[in-house]
């Protein structure tokens, strides 16, 4: 489990870095619209609180078992990947055939 936990921690770090890059690209794309920038930054803070609270609930659900760390890490990873995809879809793609600002996150 320790090796799996370490691997999961590396994946979460990579996912956090990817999310940060996609968010920065969105902020840059809308840098001429302060309302969008402000709301995106506000949503980042709200989302980070949501992710922590939600995954804390997952941890609590598994608190009696040794798998709780893995379950919590998986929660953080999945939510982070979903958030990155949502930012890409909402702020880094175009309605026409223009290529997206960044590739679709994997």
CA 16 to chain centre: 6
Cα 72 from Cα 9, distance rounded (Å): 11
Percent of the chain residues topping a pLDDT of 90: 92
pLDDT of 24 higher than 90: yes
Average pLDDT value for residue range 20-37: 98
- pLDDT tier, 5 (very low <50, low <70, confident <90, very high otherwise): confident
| CB 82, CB 14: distance < 8 Å | no
Percent of the chain residues topping a pLDDT of 70: 99
User: What's the Rg (C-alpha) of the chain?
Assistant: 16
pLDDT of 9 higher than 80: yes
Predicted model pTM = 0.93
């Amino acid at each position: 489990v320790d090796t799996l936990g370490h691997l999961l921690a590396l994946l979460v770090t990579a996912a956090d870095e990817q999310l940060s890059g996609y968010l920065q690209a969105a902020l840059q794309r809308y840098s001429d619209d302060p309302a969008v920038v402000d709301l995106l930054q506000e949503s980042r803070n709200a989302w980070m609180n949501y992710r922590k609270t939600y995954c804390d609930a997952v941890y609590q659900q598994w608190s009696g078992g040794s798998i709780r760390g893995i379950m919590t890490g998986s929660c953080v990873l999945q939510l982070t990947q979903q958030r990155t995809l949502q930012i890409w879809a909402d702020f880094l793609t175009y309605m026409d055939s223009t290529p997206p600002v960044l590739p679709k996150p994997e």
